[in-house]
Amino acid sequence: MKRFFPILLFLMLGIVSFAGDPVKPLPAKAQAYIDKVKQQTRSEYDARHITDNESLSSSFKAIRGTKSGTKVTFDEKNPEAGVQVWFVVSWYRMLDNDVPTGEEIEAEFNCDAAPGAIAYGAACALYRGCPLTIGLKPDRFFEETGLHSSITLTHEELIAICSSKL
Amino acid sequence: MKKYFLILLMSIAGSIAAAAQEYWRPSAELVERARQEPVIREHIERYISFRRSIESEKSLLDIHYTIQPDGIHISQTLKYDKYSNMQDFGDHYVIYYSENDPYITPEVRAYTTKTFESVLCLTLDQEKYSTYNLSRLCDAWMTWLFYITGYSIYDDWDFKRPKKERETTVTTSKDIADAAIKICRLKDWSRDSQIALLNRYLSDRTSTTWGGRKELQTSSQFSDVKSVTPDGIEVCAALLDRSGYDAVSNDSSKAVEFIYKDNPLVVIAARTLGLPLCIHLYDMTRFGTKTVFTINPEAL
């Protein structure tokens, strides 16, 4: 029995380490970003979401001008689509271009204190080796007009941005 | 002695402050105009029919109402009361008359909601009950409008019980204001406080189905209120077809008409509070095409 225990322990350690590794090898700084987001979000969200395969959806700190209903999702069946972070904005604010600026969105990648949806989504995308899409959707008239706006960052762009935030 | 003097002084000051509590109301002419608004009657009828549909499930009450100059008179006859205490219906409780339960006062049935904090309502918590439970029949804007009209609600209860006499309860518009002050933590019921209240409940004037019940929805399809401030009410309206936009954007009176049809309370509120109405019209077929009108309250 004693002989089997170290083997079992060794196997378990192997599984844990596999579950915790990103899909693609990452530079040390990008890995450090994931670790920091995990550490920072532990109290607010379930940090396991970063490493498990469930669809991600939660309430996150809103950016200026956005409403509740922010969603972070990842579709296992369509991994190429990457991690998606969608904010809801009043339709008239979108039309008046009164929406978060590029600088404000970039600032949301900071992971120093209470990271929001973007930092969380970025950590997920880094881990999964996929792109990150950040989008704004109106609270009304989406179906009638298709009004929305989004930006997609490639995995490489994401590594560069996140590494610079450490 | 000094200590007592200070306490006395403070209590006098408190009494003066309470006495000076302002219950702002517009001019008699505007009150009368608000009363004539079809949305008021629709609202009352919607409420009555909604209540009746709930009551009829248990066949508890016969309800009849009339709108008279002094207020809404609602007569209700409790057909039978085999139940007692309180029953949980998910989003609301129904409290039944119970002769032997001293904790249920007053001794009649009344609704109270679980989420009363989010809207204006009168509940048993305030040691005053009303069948006109505001949280169940309207949003904050509707409640405010009802206050403005100055109607009282007379609930005439007939219990058909040997030991229970007929009872009439009255909910005045001041009761509504007091409930709003208390629940929404307003400092008073001045015009500015009423404006702040409407601004706080902007979401009541969106497409969101109020309280999850479509039959009680009073909100709009195409317009949202952006802000309510002492400077005016800003409303944004979306026109989904080009010809409609062209027709409305060339004529401010047509723009007001459009808003009134879609969201009457916005126009009524601007007129009654004496605030300019700033209408932003958006052509949803041509993003970037927009027209802005500012209309003085006298023209509404």
Which of B224, B284, B288 is the closest to A90 by Cβ?
B224
Q: Classify B126 in phi/psi space as left (phi over 0), alpha (psi -120 to 50) or beta.
A: alpha
Q: Provide the pLDDT for residue B176.
A: 78
pLDDT band at B85 (very low <50, low <70, confident <90, very high): very low
Instruction: Name chain B contacts of A95, Cβ cutoff 8 Å.
Output: 282, 287-288, 290
* Higher pLDDT pick, B245 / B186: B245
User: In chain A, how many domains are there?
Assistant: 1
| Dist. CA A67–CA B223, nearest whole Å | 17
Residue of B221, B226, B281, B289 to mutate for A, most A C-beta atoms under 10 A: B226
Q: Provide the pLDDT for residue B189.
A: 92
Helix (H, G, I), strand (E, B) or coil at B141: helix
Q: Provide the pLDDT for residue B232.
A: 97
* Higher pLDDT pick, A46 / B143: B143
- Checking DSSP bridges between strand B71-78 and strand B152-158, what pairing results, if any? parallel
Structural contact between residues A149 and A99, judged by C-beta atoms closer than 8 angstroms: yes
A147 touches chain B (CB under 8 A): yes
Among B126, B114, B118, B111, CA closest to B179: B126
Distance from CA of A65 to the nearest CA of B (A): 12
Q: What residue ranges do the domains of chain B occupy?
A: 28-194, 220-299
**pLDDT digits 0-9 by tens, A50-107:** 665 555 555 566 688 888 778 888 888 888 899 999 998 999 999 999 999 999 999 9
- Checking DSSP bridges between strand A132-138 and strand A149-153, what pairing results, if any? antiparallel
Q: Is the pLDDT of residue B62 over 90?
A: no
Domain residues for the domain of A89 are: 21-164
- Asked which of A1-5, A148-152, B138-142, B156-160 is least confident by mean pLDDT, the reply is A1-5
**A49 assigned to some structural domain:** yes
**pLDDT digits 0-9 by tens, B105-124:** 333 333 333 333 222 223 33
**A9 assigned to some structural domain:** no
**A11 assigned to some structural domain:** no
**A142 assigned to some structural domain:** yes
**A13 assigned to some structural domain:** no
ipTM at complex level: 0.76
- Residue A92 and residue B284: Cβ atoms within 8 Å? no
Placement of tokens 């209470």 in the chain: A114
| Dist. CA B160–CA B166, nearest whole Å | 8
Among B38, B41, B26, CA closest to B271: B26
**pLDDT digits 0-9 by tens, A115-139:** 888 998 899 899 889 999 999 999 8
Structural contact between residues A166 and A160, judged by C-beta atoms closer than 8 angstroms: no
**A10 assigned to some structural domain:** no
Which of B207, B285, B287 is the closest to A95 by Cβ?
B287
**pLDDT digits 0-9 by tens, B14-42:** 544 444 558 999 999 999 998 888 887 77
The DSSP call for residue B55 is H
Residue of A140, A141, A142 to mutate for B, most B C-beta atoms under 10 A: A140
**A99 assigned to some structural domain:** yes
For range B270-287, the mean pLDDT: 96
Which of A92, A95, A144 is the closest to B240 by Cβ?
A144
Neighbours of A120 (CB within 10 A): 28
**pLDDT digits 0-9 by tens, B193-236:** 999 989 988 876 665 444 444 544 556 789 999 999 999 999 99
Integer-rounded Cα Rg, in Å, for chain B is 22
Q: Is the pLDDT of residue B160 over 90?
A: no
Structural contact between residues A83 and A73, judged by C-beta atoms closer than 8 angstroms: yes
